[in-house]
Chains A and B, each alone.
Chain A
Amino acid sequence: MRPALLLFGYALAVAWWAPPLLSRLTGPGVSPRLGLAAWLTAMASAVASAAAALALLIQAAVSGWSRLAEVVCRSVAGHACAQTVYTSAVFELALAAAAILAALVAVAVAWRYGRGVQRAQRRTHAHAEAARITGRGLPGVAAAVVLEAAEPAAYCVSGRPGTIVLTSGALALLEPPQLAAVLAHERAHLAGHHHLLIALTRGLGAVFPAVPLFARGPESVARLAEMCADDSAARRTGRGTLVAALLAMATGAAVPASALGVMACAVTVRLQRLADAPRRGRRARYGLALAAAMLLLAGLPGVLVLIPA
C-alpha cells in the first residue's frame, strides 16, 4: 500500500512541480536536445508512476481484501478503526467499488488517449498522401512537393514516406541557399520523428488538460523540436542563411542575400563569436542540470518502490 501511495504522490509532484523547473532550464534553448529529452522523461515518468501505483493498488486489492481494508481503514481513522468497522460488509463494498472505479477510469483514459493519437496519425498520413498526389515534384528533392498557393508556407508531415510541402509562394520568396536551409530544417524534423513526439504528448494534453505537466508539455516539446531542427539546418547551411530564410518566411518579404542576407549573416556570426566563450560554460551548466533532472525523474520511482514498507 505504501509504495503505491508514494508512487502516486510522486506522479502528482512531478506533474505539478516539473513544468516550472523544466521551463526555466529549457526556456533559453541552450541545449534543445537534452531539454526535449528532459520534458519527455518527466511526462513518461509521471505516467509510468501513476500506472504502477494503480497496478500495485489493484494487485493489493485482489490479493488481500481484508488486509487492505484494515490498512485503508487504519490510515484514515487511525486506532479508532476497530476490527468491526473494517470487516463490515459496507466498508468492503465501498473499497471494492473504489478500486473498480479507479481501474475503469484508467482504462477509459487509456482508450481515449490511444484513439486520439491514432486519429491524429491517420489525419496526418492522409494529409501527406493528398499533398503527394496534389503537389508537383520539386526537381532534385525526392521528399518534397510544391502546392500552388500564393501564401508562403513550408511544413513537413509524416507518412509513408514523410513529405515536405512547400507552396509556390515560398519557392518564389526564397533564394536557393535559403530553400536549402528550409529543406534541411524540415528533413531534421522527419529524421528525428518529431511528429510522433508531438502527437504522443499532445494526446496526453488532450486527456489531462488540467494537469500542468501535460497541459504545458506539448508546447514545450514542439518548441524544442523546432530548435533541434534549427540547429541541424544551421550546421548544414550556416546560421545567417537560416536566419534570412526565417525572416523571409515570417514576414512574407524576400530577403536578398546581397543586402540583408549578408548583414544578417555578419550580425549573427559576430554575435556568435562574441557569445561563444561564455556559451560553452553555460551549455555545460544547463546540460548538467538537465541531466541531473532526468536522472532524478527516471530513477526516483524505482527508489520509491524499493523503500521497505
Chain B
Amino acid sequence: MHGFGDLEAVIMDRVWDHDGPVTVREVFEELQAERVIAYTTVMTTMDNLHRKGWLARVKEGKAYRYTATASREEYSARLMREALDDGGDTQAVLSHFVAQMDGEESEVLRAVMRRLADRGPR
C-alpha cells in the first residue's frame, strides 16, 4: 500500500500485476473495489503516465489497451544505477546514508567489527 495515496503509483502497481495489456475500464473496476474513484480520474492518470513514458498504448476498437514500457525490476535497476553513479552525468542531488566505500576501507571496518564481536558484551 502506498502511504501517499499517489494514484500514479497505485495504477502502475495494477498494470505491473497484470500479465497482458489492460484497459482503463479494467483498472477502474479493480480500484473501485477498494476506494471511491471516478472513471475519468483513472483515465486522466493513465493518459499522464502514457505521456510521461511509463505506459505504452494500442488502440483496440474504441478503447486503448495499456502496457508498462518496462518492468518494475527494470525501473528499479535504472534508479539504482542513477543513485549509485556518483558524480556521473545524472546530476540528481541525493543524500546517501553512507557514502560507498572501496573494498579496503570496508575490510578494515569489518575487521574492527569482528574484533569487537569476539570480545563480546561484558
Contact = CB atoms under 8 A, between A and B. Distances in A.
Interface of A: 119-121, 123-124, 126-127, 130-139, 141-144, 147-149, 151, 153-158, 161, 165, 167, 182, 185-186, 189, 194-195, 198-199, 202, 222, 225-226, 229, 245-247, 249-253, 255, 259-260, 262-264, 266-267
A255 B113 contact: yes
A96 to B, nearest CB: 38
A81 to B, nearest CB: 50
B93 A266 contact: no
Interface size class of B (residues with CB under 8 A): 35 or more
Task: Determine the main DSSP class of B at the interface with A.
Answer: helix
A121 to B, nearest CB: 8
A198 B6 CA distance: 28
Tell which of A134, A246, A263 has the most Cβ of chain B within 10 Å. A134
A186 B94 CA distance: 10
Contact of B76 (A134, A158, A246, A255): A134
A222 to B, nearest CB: 8
Contacts of B72: 134, 148
29 contacts: A120-B93, A123-B90, A124-B92, A124-B93, A127-B90, A131-B79, A132-B2, A133-B9, A133-B75, A134-B72, A136-B2, A141-B3, A142-B4, A144-B3, A147-B76, A148-B73, A151-B84, A154-B96, A155-B95, A158-B93, A161-B4, A185-B97, A186-B97, A195-B95, A246-B97, A250-B101, A251-B101, A251-B110, A255-B113
Contact of B97 (A141, A144, A154): A154
Interface string B57-96: 0000000000000001101111110111000001111111
Given A154-B97, A249-B97, A123 B54 contact: no
A142 B76 contact: no
A204 to B, nearest CB: 14
Contacts of B75: 130, 133-134
Contacts of A189: 95
Contact of B113 (A138, A198, A253): A253
Contacts of A142: 3-4
A148 B76 contact: yes
B106 interface: yes
B94 A127 contact: yes
Contacts of B35: none
Contacts of A251: 101, 106, 109-110, 113
A225 B116 CA distance: 29
B3 A165 contact: no
Contacts of A165: 79, 83
B119 interface: yes
Contacts of A226: 95
Contacts of B33: none
A72 B96 CA distance: 51
Contacts of A144: 3
Contacts of A131: 79
A29 B98 CA distance: 17
